[in-house]
Amino acid sequence: MEGKMNNAKTQPFTLQADPPKHYCHARGCLNEVHPSLLMCSRHWRLVPTHLQREVWRHYRKGQEIDKVPSPSYLHAAADAINHVAKLEGNSAFPVTTNN
Ligand SMILES: [Zn+2]
């Protein structure tokens, strides 16, 4: 008698949710970036230094985890995003912060 091994695949697996993907905020850019970063390096380089400084000034460590960035961060981020959009000719619908 042949005991046929019919093991269902019982490979151990780790139940680990993938961290949510975070993409560059520049219009139409699908580059994945670290959640603490607003844009990929290519777009971030297009942001003038004073706007970059504003974004970082209002960045709060952990805001990408609790998803509660301050209104001032959103405002600075929108400025940076709109600036890049303008440079790339995508400024038809500027980002607004509605506050
Ligand atoms: Zn980008």
Question: For residue 52, how far is its CA from the centre of ligand 1 (angstroms)?
Answer: 14
Give the Cα separation of 63 and 3 in Å (integer): 57
**pLDDT value, residue 23:** 94
Mean pLDDT, range 84-89, rounded to an integer: 94
In a domain, 29, yes or no: yes
Mean pLDDT, range 63-89, rounded to an integer: 95
In a domain, 10, yes or no: no
Domain that holds residue 26: 22-99
**pLDDT value, residue 4:** 58
In a domain, 90, yes or no: yes
Q: How many domains does the chain have?
A: 1
Question: For residue 17, how far is its CA from the centre of ligand 1 (angstroms)?
Answer: 25
In a domain, 26, yes or no: yes
In a domain, 15, yes or no: no
Question: For residue 44, how far is its CA from the centre of ligand 1 (angstroms)?
Answer: 7
- 1-58 confidence digits (pLDDT tens): 555 555 555 656 666 666 678 999 999 999 999 999 999 999 999 999 999 999 999 9
In a domain, 5, yes or no: no
In a domain, 98, yes or no: yes
In a domain, 68, yes or no: yes
Question: For residue 41, how far is its CA from the centre of ligand 1 (angstroms)?
Answer: 7
Question: For residue 76, how far is its CA from the centre of ligand 1 (angstroms)?
Answer: 17
pTM of the model: 0.74
